[in-house]
Amino acid sequence: MNHYRRLEKMYLNANINKKVFDSTSASISEGKASIGLEITDKYFHALGAIHGSVYFKLLDDAAFFAVSSIVKDYFVLTTSFNINLIKPVNKGKLTAHGKVRFSSANLFTAESTLVNEKGQEVAFGTGNFAKSKIALTDKIGY
């Protein structure tokens, strides 16, 4: 199994995606990642739209896995992430598209955009990531 498929498997089999965010999808390629989620009311805050934590998770995951696609030996860690919310969402499928903007030996920057099923941007973010000392192995689901 190649690196990208192993990362997709690791993502989809993570407890948070199997038990909390149960309608996720992942597609990873060199320097890019797309993460999808079908919206249901279980993600809503009191005003009937998705909570900001859902925006954050999708944006961070897409940027994280874009970086992970080019780091083939170690797990990466998010060191900071900023998001900008543009419009509320209460139905449909959301897809976050991440891409690497900068890379060095151990530090990386990636950005991601979250779009609704009409292709309209609903949020965007930028994050910094660092290579950890944790090897990518079967033990962590890789």
Whole-prediction pTM value? 0.96
Domain containing residue 121: 3-140
Backbone phi, psi, residue 109, to 5°: -125, 135
β-sheet bridge partners, residue 38: 93
- Angstrom CA distances, 117 to 30, 90, 91, 121, stand at 24, 12, 9, 10
- Per-chain mean pLDDT for the chain: 96
Enumerate helices (H) and strands (E) in the chain, giving the number of each.
3, 6
β-sheet bridge partners, residue 97: 34, 113
What tens digit of pLDDT does each residue of 56-88 get? 999 999 999 999 999 999 999 999 999 999 999
Question: How many domains does the chain contain in total?
Answer: 1
Q: Is 36 helix (H, G, I), strand (E, B) or coil?
A: strand
Is the separation of the CB atoms in 6 and 12 below 8 Å? Answer: no
Residues of the chain with pLDDT under 50: none
| Closest to 136 in 3D by CA, of 3, 46, 36 | 3
pLDDT at 36: 97
The CATH number of whichever domain residue 84 belongs to comes to: 3.10.129.10
Is the separation of the CB atoms in 83 and 125 below 8 Å? Answer: yes
